Amino acid sequence: MGTAQIVEESITSMASIKSITGANNGKSPYLGRNGFTLMELLMVVGIIGVMATVLVVVMKPGTQLAKARDVRRQTDLIAILGTVYQYTADHSGDLPDTDGNPATSNFPTAAKCIGTDLACFNLSGAGVTGDTIVPVYMGAIPWDPKTGTAANTGYTIYVDTNGRFYASAPGAETKTITVTK
């Protein structure tokens, strides 16, 4: 056997080995492939699921929403007391009341709910005729974002013996909210 014949047999045997193993001239076997395998897709979906779960646990959406509602409650109370304070300043110290008698006042001296219900103080209709809290001083009386209605806003208001105004939100979820002016 000559050298040329040995080289030719070696080349033939190498070509048959490449066809058996799937070798494709030194190129990657994944080169002509389109898309992802099912296993790759399942791994990505699993990783995204774990990350989403961790994010939801860390963010605590229920607590964040409760804090947001409490911030709104505090803002509402500040607006209510600012309105009452402005009315009182505009009327020489007279408090807004609903009894219709300028000589007397039925503004609450103990914590009483704000609303149109008979058990509540109707702050929206309080004041002298033509100069009531709503619509002159405020577009509408705000109410608790979770439990409030027009009949009972979920807020309380009163003035103490020293003339200080207090408003509170008994339905606050994360902390006690009381505003004083």
Start-to-end Cα distance in the chain: 113
* Chain segment 17-61, per-residue pLDDT in tens: 555 555 555 565 556 667 888 999 999 999 999 999 888 888 888
- Contact (CB, 8 A) for 174 and 123: no
- The CA distance from 44 to 123, in Å, is 58
Write down the pTM of the prediction: 0.69
